[in-house]
Amino acid sequence: MINLPTEFPDFGLTPEQRRHAVRGHYYEWPGMDGERGEIWCYSDRFSYRAGDTVALHVSSTAPTFSMTIIRDGGAETKVFGKSAIAARWQDTPDQCSAEGCGWEASFEFRVGSDWPSGAYRVTLTADGRDGKPIQSHHVFIVAPQPGRKPGRVLQVAATGTWLAYNTWGGSNHYQGITGPNRDQYSPIVSTQRPWCRGFVVLPNDAPRVPLEVAVPPKTVPRYPHMEWALATGHSKKYASSGWASYDSHFFRFAEQAGYGVDLASQHDLHFSPEILDGYDCAVFVGHDEYWTWEMRDAVDAYVERGRHAARFAGNFMWQARLEDEGRRQVCYKYRARSEDPAYLRGGDVTRATNSWEAPEIGRPGSATFGLNATRGVYAGWGGCAPRGVRGFPVYRPEHWAFAGTGIYYGDLLGADSHVYGYEVDGLDFEIRGGLPYPTATSGAPEGLQVLAVGMASQVEESADIPIEDQFLTDEDGRFTAETLFGDPSDANLEKVKRGNGMIVNFPRGKGEVFHAGSCEWVAGLLRQDPMVERVTKNVIDRYLGGK
């Protein structure tokens, strides 16, 4: 077992700066680097296919820049390089997070016919005004060409969640500069803006959200990932979403393990659901919180037809909508019932951008992936099980997913690599004869087996933590209570405050679903945990028809 340090890491911040790192609203914006100058870019779309033209929209204080493009997979492969590309500073609207930057295209290039599907990392470098280089990073996806691809896996990047957490320009679905007092999160976020710092590349020592500290009792919570972000100039949300923190780790692992793996965006799933047809196995990983109705339709139909969905991800929570040909994502979230046009203008309330568990939507998350966030959520940070299990407690070790792991009933899967957290998905369940079963009212699909269950919380425990030191508080718990039971009363909060995270498996139609419901499963792949790697391979091998 890993011996955890008992002291929080020190990134050189004062107590006031540490508080601002967690409580404050800081973000990337044009002009933030002042006299040094800066360069930013975005592409016109999230994903392309071979032969497509990519338009890069660049705003730079330097008159020229150089650019390299690297395929970021099991190995890094340079596919493109060019220097002395002309650029200029382009004005940016105040509400660019919601409206888009509106920059003119600065450079175009064609995706090579020999560029394999995957993530392509763009690095722009120019001269800063102080003589030192300035840089920015971007990532785009090359999606696969149509056609049958036996033996290959399709990974679907959680781009809806990337969009929701992107802090560039000041607003996302969490904090923002919208509203009359410029202090509200934005229910609308645009794809037409750069990714925030830390979404594309990160150093290996960047902290993840779950605490790697043995927290003494009665300790005021600390959030090392946010402290590190403020200290190093990264986005406050770098550890909550993005290619660098989550999706990349599965893609690299799969290629290094010898699997053929292609990559698509959730936008591809929404607008071109037939992209799934070439594959026997589709994989979803990391922090995967925002989905549209159409994305779920695509996965449900795919599995019904006899294919397989493997989700190593957590926090299946919000229905979103895409507008303006996918350039805008809409999710009103906590304000949906008071502000979403789906409620207010006689619209289709089933498409309301609320929690999937809202009764009026009528499509609980568990219907697609077996689990949902409203019965799961926080573990391993703040006042939510900060000293709890770091891995999944296993109840059914005889299941095929655990073959070759040597794991026993009651063992923890992935504890050494901390795969359990920071947000997990669960179900209402009961124990009979020492084994967990979904309750009759849980919404679990028929035939669902619960393989592992850990504890989580919807509410930050407050007995030893002053309210001013709580980050998570009980707001999410009260929202869940109102969503499920009609009002956020103490009595209803009591019904939902205790959550769980599960690993489940169930058949659907002619196909099958496996779901390890934790954001941090990829940490086990990043940290090369043999048990986590073995389970991941067992699932992929079975779903590719190898076993």
DSSP secondary structure string for all residues of 116-137 = -SEEEEEEEEEE-TTSSEEEEE
Quote the CA–CA distance of 530 and 413 in Å, as a whole number: 10
Q: Which residues contact 337 (CB under 8 A, 6 or more apart)?
A: 343, 352, 354
Give per-residue pLDDT as tens, 385-435: 989 999 999 999 999 999 999 999 999 999 999 999 999 999 999 999 999
Report the pLDDT averaged over residues 314-328.
98
Report helix angle 530-543 to 248-256, nearest 10.
80
DSSP label at residue 94: T
Question: What token pair was written down for 61?
Answer: 């204080």
pLDDT of 5 over the 80 cut = yes
C-alpha distances (whole Å) from 27 to each of 33, 126, 191, 512 are 12, 22, 16, 41
Report the pLDDT averaged over residues 134-141.
98
Q: Which residues contact 335 (CB under 8 A, 6 or more apart)?
A: 187
pLDDT of 547 over the 60 cut = no
Report helix angle 224-232 to 15-23, nearest 10.
100
Residue 346, pLDDT score = 78
Residue 1, pLDDT score = 57
Give per-residue pLDDT as tens, 427-467: 999 999 999 999 999 999 999 999 999 999 998 876 677 77
Question: What token pair was written down for 518?
Answer: 């934790």
Q: Which residues contact 38 (CB under 8 A, 6 or more apart)?
A: 30, 31, 32, 60, 61, 128, 134, 136
Element (H, E) at 373: strand 372-379
Quote the CA–CA distance of 122 and 216 in Å, as a whole number: 43
- On whether the CB atoms of residues 119 and 250 are closer than 8 A, the answer is no
DSSP β-bridge partners for residue 126:
134
Task: Give the mean pLDDT of the chain.
Answer: 96
Q: Which residue has the tokens 């939507």?
A: 361
Residue 55, pLDDT score = 98
pLDDT of 367 over the 70 cut = yes
pLDDT of 273 over the 70 cut = yes
Residue 546, pLDDT score = 60
Residues in the chain: 547
Report the pLDDT averaged over residues 148-173.
98
Question: What token pair was written down for 304?
Answer: 């019904």
Give per-residue pLDDT as tens, 216-255: 888 888 999 999 999 999 999 999 999 999 999 999 999 9
Element (H, E) at 477: helix 475-485
Give per-residue pLDDT as tens, 42-88: 999 999 999 999 999 999 999 999 999 999 999 999 999 999 999 99
Report the pLDDT averaged over residues 14-37.
95
